[in-house]
Amino acid sequence: MPSTEFIEKVGVNIPEHLSANEFLSLAREGMIEEEHLRSFALAEFQSQEAEFTAYGLLTSRFPHEVPGGFFSFVTRELMRARQRMVSELAPALGMPVDRMRREPRSEAVRRFTELISWVALHAGAGEAALLARTDFTLWCNSCAVLADVLAEAEQVPQAVVAYVDAYRDNPPEVADGVLEVIQYGREHHEPDAWITRSAVRMEPALRDWWRAVATAG
């Protein structure tokens, strides 16, 4: 079976995912308030912390240049986003970063981070890479549309629009690089049945994540 078939088996439906995005729906209706933006920033900040740990651990678990290069690239992309978060987004929303580190996690954020953390500890290289690829595909498509909508809203700070817009493009290193990692996993006895098992959980996890930030306040 070619590696592309694993991507097809995950069955990411972008239009359906976007239509279910309650935060995006609020933005389209012109109902986004500062509390929603703060909720988004906090949930993103908290999710990043789990992702740093997860992809750093995956780089250590799979030091071969194919999976290791993939997971280290993902880690660098996440750190670039964190730098934008602490230097631009959080200050624009009046959110002290030290306080953000101490805030409790919502149930949706906790479930998302638990999924990422489980994969970091237990998944094979192909499974973890396909999870990352699915995450990036859903997230980047969502942010591309959201950035365009927020750009038309007078009450949304430009720093928020810029932060979301920076996610617009799914890097080819992730979108295409996953195929090499899946092949690596299969060559190292990773069971085919395991490669998609975590990726299929990403869409509902992100759907709940967006619902949680939309219902804040």
Q: Which of 84, 107, 109, 176 is nearest to 136 (CA)?
A: 176
pLDDT tens-digit readout, 65-95: 999 999 999 999 999 999 999 999 999 999 9
Give residue 1's pLDDT. 63
Alpha-carbon gap, residue 208 to 47, rounded angstroms: 13
What contacts 24+ positions apart, CB below 8 Å, involve 120-125? 120/53, 120/54, 120/55, 120/57, 120/58, 120/61, 121/57, 123/194, 123/198, 124/185, 124/188, 124/190, 124/191, 124/194, 124/195, 125/58, 125/62, 125/66, 125/67, 125/181, 125/184, 125/185, 125/188, 125/190
164's CB contacts (< 8 A; 6+ apart) are 143, 146, 147, 150
Alpha-carbon gap, residue 217 to 43, rounded angstroms: 14
Distances (CA, A) of 7 to 155, 173, 179, 187, 208: 39, 15, 9, 17, 22
Give residue 3's pLDDT. 83
Give residue 149's pLDDT. 98
Q: Which of 140, 106, 110 is nearest to 38 (CA)?
A: 106
Which residues in the chain land under pLDDT 50? none
Contact present, 164 and 143 (Cβ < 8 Å): yes
